[in-house]
Amino acid sequence: MGIWFLWYVKVFYDKMRGDLKDYFVSVSSKYDELRGKEILPPLCERLKRLTKKGSRALDVACGTGLFLIPIATEFDLRLFGSDLSSGMLETAHKKARNDNLRVSFLRADVHNLPFPDEYFDVLISTNAIHHFDLIRSLKECARVLRKGGSYIVFSRFREQNNRSFWGKNFPKFADKENRLYNKEEFEDAAKKVEEFNLDSINESSFEKKATKEEILVEVTNKKYSTFDLYSDEEFEESLKSFKNWLNGKRDICYTAEIGEIIYRKV
């Protein structure tokens, strides 16, 4: 029973990673235009507190370098970015080269990082950990993190997603997005991964405003990988219903939420 379950989990995550690579290849050229940077200021505040000049830092699933590139312009750190998507990494590398920034990018799976034990002083992950097997990835991140080092995670909690603008207004969005972890799962993970203590877990919110046209651009360009979980027929049907809901609306104001978790290596 146990071996069968582990095999099933492996097959599930292998397929999911394959599907994700296809999605991120398709959005890599427009990813930065679609995603916001509201969490950059708090992320930089944590890095100021948890790093010093020359510290080694890894952005796990860095994507296009949406956060790693601005971090490189502000901090004197030895920066690395890993991701499974070659398309996203190509964009990140091009941005770093154009800005003459020293950042090392490599294609790698968070469950099998190609780094020695205790290599990094700090790890970060932004809006990505729901794509990982939580316990397996935490164990691997703990392996490459030095004792006393921190792993800074920003991720929507499942309950935040359910009450989000998209969760409440785009048909089936909350039901389709079943990959997100809830707050209790992050807390429980620290008990299961003995190498980590839970340093802090908090929630933040940001007020956002967009026009109907801007909202539709986000949907049709599939800003969130959640949209890629729909079949083509489901997505078109849901989009039609969402457009009907948008009719007559002009500026749309809503609150976006994010969870912040910091694990410390013991």
With 0-12 / 13-18 / 19 or more C-beta atoms within 10 angstroms meaning exposed / middle / buried, residue 28 is buried
Beta bridge partners of 201: 261
Residue keyed to tokens 């979980």: 229
Instruction: For the chain, give the percent of residues with pLDDT over 90.
Output: 86
Give me the domains of the chain, ranges plus CATH numbers. 2-265 (3.40.50.150)
How does pLDDT run across 38-77, given as a tens digit for each residue? 999 999 999 999 999 999 999 999 999 999 999 999 999 9
| CA–CA distances in Å: residue 208 to residues 146, 181, 211, 232 | 38, 23, 11, 29
How does pLDDT run across 191-245, given as a tens digit for each residue? 999 999 999 999 999 999 999 999 999 999 999 999 999 999 999 999 999 999 9
The phi, psi pair for 179, rounded to 5°, reads -95, -20
